[in-house]
Amino acid sequence: MKLAEYQKDKITQKIIDSDTFKNAPTSIALLKYLYEATKKGTHLKESVIDIDFFKSENAGDRSNPRVRVNVHNLRKKIARFYETEGKGDLWRLTINKGQYQVSFYKNEQGHTVLKKLKWTTVLPYTLLFASLLIIVKMSIPKPKPDLWKSFLLKNTPTNLYIGDHFGMTGKTITKNNGWTRDFSINSSDEFYNFIDSNPNLRDSIKPANYSYSTRMAALSTQKFQAFFQDYNKNFSVRFSTQTSTSEIKEGFAVYAGPSKNNNQFLYFFNEANPYFEISDTNLKLLDHPTQKDTIFNLNSGDVTNEYAVVSKYPVDHAEHFVFFSQHDIGVSATVEYFTNQDSIRKFNETYLKDNDYFTAVFEVKGQDRTNTSLKLNMVVPF
C-alpha cells in the first residue's frame, strides 16, 4: 500500500503538533524543511541544507557538523515520539541515517505477532477468558430492587399465599353429587354457622376436602418463582383458605388472589393502610390530605374490565405485598408489572421517592382471562 500525499502531510503535522516537539522550534522548522524539500525532489546533502536552511554564506562541499548535529537531534526526537505519543501509529515517518530525505514506512511489528499466532492456539485461551468473565459476572450479586429488598434478604422467611375458594360437597343444582362454591361462605366456621341456620341441609352438604383456585394461581406462582430465583431466594406456597392469622404473621407474606373470598389479608390491609379500606366489594379512599374521598367498586361484574389493588404495608416486624382483584386478569397483570425490573424501577422513582409503603389502584382490561391493557389510576404512598 502506498501513502497518498495528504496522508503523509497528516503524519508529519501530527509530529510537529506533539508534546515531544512543543519546545523544539529548530527541530520543527528543520522537519518542515526536509519534508517539503523531499516532496519537491530536492537533492538533499549537507551543503544544500546548510545554505537553504541555515542560510550559510560560506558553505561548500566540505562536511558541516552543524547540519549533522541538528539532523541527529531531529532523529532522536522522532524516535522519542514513536516511543510515547505515536506508539500505536501504523505508518511512521523516518529520516534514515546517512540520508536527509523524509520517508514513510509501515510498522509491521504488531501485525507480525498476530500473524504468527494460530487460532488453534489462541481460541482455547479466548474461550477460557470468556468463561471466567461469565463466572465472575454471575457470582456478583444482582442489586435487589428497593420495592422487594426486604423480601429478598436471605434470612427473611417469605410465604406466597394463593387466594383460593372454600367449597362444599353434596347435591348441586343438577341434583347430582359435586363441588359447590358459595361466595358468602369462605371458611369452615362460616359453613357451620350456615348449617346452624339451615339444619335441614346438615345431611346433604359438608365442607370439601379441597379448595378451588383459578389459572391465576399458576401464572402468578410462575412469575414470582422466576423473579425470586434471579436473587437466589426461595419462598413457600400456601393457600389462603388453609391458613390462620397467626401463620400469616410468621414472616414476610405475598398474597395474590381475589378479595371476594373474604381472605384474612383484608384485615391486615385495612389495619395498616392509613387512607384506604376494603369493605364488602368497595375500596374506599378516605381522609387523605390532598386526594378527595373516592369509592371504587371492585365487583365490576365484568371479567374483561376490572380494578386491581396492589399494596405494600408493614405488619409487626415484617411486611405484606398484596395483589387483589375480583377476577384473574387484575391479579395476573399487576403481578407481571411488579416482577418486571424496568416497571418496578420506574414505579419506585416516579411515585415512592422516600416512602417505603403504598397502595396503588389499576384499571385492567382483558380477554379470556388474559390482560390486554393495564392503566395506573392512583398511587398513594405512606
Q: What is the domain-level CATH number for residue 219?
A: 3.30.379.10
Q: Which helix (H) or strand (E) holds 362?
A: strand 358-367
Mean pLDDT of 182-191: 86
The angle at the Cα of 278, spanning 272 to 283, to the nearest 5 degrees, equals 115
For residues 273 and 364, membership in a common domain is answered with yes
Q: Are residues 191 and 242 in the same domain?
A: no
Amino acid identity at 59: A
DSSP string, 90-141: SEEEE--TT----EEEE--HHHHHHHHS-HHHHHHHHHHHHHHHHHHHHHSP
Mean pLDDT in residue range 326-332: 91
Longest dimension (CA), the chain: 138
On whether both 195 and 218 belong to a single domain, the answer is: no
Q: Do 238 and 292 fall into the same domain?
A: yes
Q: What is the pLDDT of residue 364?
A: 95
Total structural domains in the chain? 3
Q: Are residues 231 and 373 in the same domain?
A: yes
Residue 49 and residue 176 in one domain: no
The pLDDT score that the predictor gives to residue 372 is 78
Domain range enclosing 299: 146-165+211-381
Q: What is the pLDDT of residues 219-265, one digit of tens each?
A: 999 999 999 999 999 999 999 998 888 889 878 999 999 998 889 99
What pLDDT does residue 302 have?
A: 74
Q: What is the pLDDT of residue 121?
A: 65
Could you report the per-residue pLDDT of 20-59, keeping only the tens digit for each?
Answer: 999 999 999 999 999 999 999 999 999 899 999 999 887 6
Q: What share of the chain is helix, strand, coil (3-state, %, to 5)?
A: 40, 25, 35
Residue 266 has which C-alpha cell? 383484608
Residue 257 carries which side chain, given as an amino acid letter?
G
Comparison of pLDDT for 186 and 5, the residue scoring more? 5
pLDDT of residue 230: 93
Higher local confidence (pLDDT), 190 or 148: 148
What pLDDT is recorded for position 367? 77
- Give residue 120's pLDDT: 67
Q: DSSP letters of 210-266? A: S-B--HHHHHHHHHHHHHHHTTT---EEEEGGG--HHHHTTSEEEEEE-STT--THH
| Tally of residues, the chain | 382
Residue pLDDT, tens place only, 287-308? 999 999 999 999 877 778 999 9
Given 186, 207, 228, the domain boundary residue is: 207
pLDDT of residue 244: 87
Do residues 203 and 282 share a domain? no
Return the C-alpha cell found at 365.
382490561
- Residue at 264 is within a domain: yes
Domain annotation covers residue 277 = yes
- Residues 191, 269: one domain? no
Q: Quick one: 191 and 250 in the same domain? A: no
* 320 HSE (CA, 13 A, CB side): 28
The predicted-structure confidence for 152-177, as pLDDT tens digits, reads as follows 987 889 999 999 999 999 988 888 99
Residue 223 and residue 259 in one domain:
yes
pLDDT of 59: 61
- The pTM of the full predicted model, rounded to 2 decimals, is 0.62
**Residue 114 scores a pLDDT above 50:** no
The packing angle between helices 5-16 and 25-40, to 10°, is 170
Residues 228, 337 within the same domain = yes
Residue 45 sits in the same domain as residue 15: yes
Nearest one of 377, 340, 343 to 359, comparing CA atoms:
377
Q: Confirm if 51 and 59 have CB atoms less than 8 A apart.
A: yes
Q: Is residue 135 part of a domain?
A: no
Q: Would residue 49 count as lying in a domain?
A: yes
Question: 111 pLDDT exceeds 60?
Answer: no
Listed range (82-96, 226-240, 365-379) with the worst mean pLDDT: 365-379
Number of H helices, E strands in the chain: 12, 15
**3-class state of residue 368 by DSSP:** coil
Name the percent of the chain lying above pLDDT 70: 93
Band of residue 117 on the pLDDT scale cut at 50, 70, 90: low
306 within some domain: yes
Q: What is the mean pLDDT of residues 266-278?
A: 96
Among 135-149, 270-284, 309-323, 324-338, the minimum mean pLDDT is found in: 135-149
Domain assignment present for 308: yes
Q: Is residue 102 in a domain?
A: yes
Looking at per-residue confidence, does 72 or 143 come out higher? 72
Neighbours of 192 (CB within 10 A): 13
Mean pLDDT of all residues in the chain?
90
263 occurs within a structural domain: yes
